[in-house]
Structures are given as structure tokens and as C-alpha cells.
Amino acid sequence: MNAPSPTLARWLSGPRFDRLPDRADDQAPPKLSFEFFPPRTDALETQLWACIRKLEPLAPRFVSVTYGAGGTTQARTHATVARMVTETTLTPAAHLTCVGASRGEIDDIARAYWDAGIRHIVALRGDVPGGGDYVPHPQGYAYASDLVAGLAKVAPFEISVAAYPEIHPTAASPLADLEVLKRKLDAGATRAITNYFFDNATFLRFLDLALAAGISAPIVPGIMPVSNYTQIVKFSAVSGVRVPSWLGAYFEGVEDDVEIRRMIAAVVAAEQVRQLQANGIDEFHFYTLNRPDLTNAIAHILGVRPRAVSAG
């Protein structure tokens, strides 16, 4: 028998790697939730509602609608979630922040959500419009944990809060950031949704640390499908997310090819979720950027199939 060729010998010299496990026939697909942002123009509102209608048949656990820095999209956020209640089968969750409003004003907004049929709030400290250091409103809720406690007094909302696997950019330390998360959950939040990340090992270590800190509530990974690499690098620099070099290599030379970038985005996000599934995670929150086709394709890869939606 001939000796292996140098090429074949090299191929045979390394370790063997099994594929990620396939979903078993009796295993349910992962639970998904989606985030949308409210429209700023009539044209963007048409785009948003096309996105909502496209993703509604996937029957997500809930869909959240963001709230601009300092509450700049408050009216549009309210209009969007209120319309979801009356015209869709979706369960909407409205974002609500502490920035730029008194406790009374925020409580009134929360009551208006409850009266409109909104039962789920994503409670956040929020960002200062235009950037800059955060300063609590003198008559407001100082931090998200205070907001969570206040919302519990307004109505029995389901409340989600934010978590940061790579720590919040303004946190003093990872331990201090975990203490902030624990205060929010102890104040009455039912789950945390993480900022997006690209290194699954970082997220899994974060779960270990959270459990060791006495946190037992679900910490749902936030997934950001990336089709615009330049944009995500700029955004990540502000939000404290590490963008790995391998992701940049995937997008080299395809700046002007939208279809290839979308394919890369779907493959990367689906692989990230499947690896997390292999580690026991079965719930995921997708930042859709109001672009339904990419999220729909990833959901299909993960085994999520559309259901019939009755006319609203």
C-alpha cells in the first residue's frame, strides 16, 4: 500500500471534530422573541409593518419596541404597541426608560400602556440624547432597578431588563455590573435580555458568574445578525462589544454585494445560536433592525416554522 501523500498526511494529522448536533425529531425549536424600533417617518412605518406581518407567523414569545434616547420616540412606540394589540396576534413589550422624565410622568406612561392592553415592559435606564454622562432626573427614577420597583406598583406588568455579557460601558467592574443586574431582578423583573455579543464563551462565562452571584432568572441571549460590518464595528465601539477578527474577514471584499452579506449574516447568526443550543440554551432574542427576511431565514434554519395567522 502506498504511503499517504504529503497533502493527505496533513489532512489526517489533526484532531477530528464532530458537527454541531442536529435537532432531534422530538425536540422543540428554540423560543424566539424579536425587537423592532419605532418608525420616524410614514415610509418607515410602512416598512415596519411589512416586517411585523412577515414575522408574525413565526409566533414569537413576544416582540419589543424600542424607545429613543430620552424618550424621543415615545408617541410612536406607544402607537406601535397599541396597534399590535388590536391588529395582530403578537404579544408586544414596550421599552420604557428613566431618562428625562419625573416618576409621575413615567407612571402615567406605564398606566397608558396598561390601559392599551400592554402587559410587558422592557425597563431600562436609557441613554442621554446626543450622548454624554447620565444624570438622573431630580424627580425621576434614578436607575432601572428603581423603575422596575415603580412599575410593579403601577400594575402587575411582566418586566424584562438588560444584561451585558461584556459589561456595560460605564460599569466600574464586571462584579459591579452583576450587582446592578441582580438589583433589577430582585426588584421584580422576570428576565434579562442581553446586549448582543459574538463570542459564545463570553456569554456562557457570564451565565456562570450570574448563577454564582445568586441570579436564577432567565438571561436570554440577544442575537444581532450582521450584514453591514462597518456599521456594527462603529456601534460596537460605543456599546462595548468586542467584534472578532474572523467576522471582519468574512466581510472582506463584499462591501458592495448585499446578497453575499445577507448570506454571511444568516450563516453566522444561525451557527451562533446552534452552538448555544448545544450548550443548553433554548431561548433567543433577535435584534431585527426592522428587516424581516434575514430573521425569517435564520428562524427557518433553526426549525421555526410559520403558523397560520387569523385576520386581525
**Three-state helix/strand/coil letters over 133-160:** CCCCCCCCCCCHHHHHHHHHHHCCCEEE
Catalytic: 35?
A: yes
Taking alpha carbons only, the member of 212, 171, 173, 211 closest to residue 192 is: 211
Strands 31-36 and 283-287: parallel
Distance CA 203, CA 195 (A): 10
Identified catalytic residue from 35, 56, 105, 259: 35
DSSP 277: H
Q: In residues, how long is the chain?
A: 312
The answer to whether the beta carbons of residues 66 and 73 sit under 8 Å apart is yes
Triad 235, 237, 240: Cα angle to 5°: 105
The answer to whether the beta carbons of residues 92 and 60 sit under 8 Å apart is no
Taking alpha carbons only, the member of 84, 37, 41, 79 closest to residue 62 is: 84
Distance CA 58, CA 48 (A): 16
Distance CA 277, CA 112 (A): 38
Distance CA 217, CA 211 (A): 9
**Measured distance between the N- and C-terminal CA atoms of the chain, rounded to whole angstroms:** 71
Distance CA 308, CA 36 (A): 22
Taking alpha carbons only, the member of 110, 205, 123 closest to residue 167 is: 205
Phi, psi of 122 (to 5 degrees): -100, 105
Q: Specify the 3-state DSSP secondary structure of 242.
A: coil
Q: Which positions are catalytic? A: 35
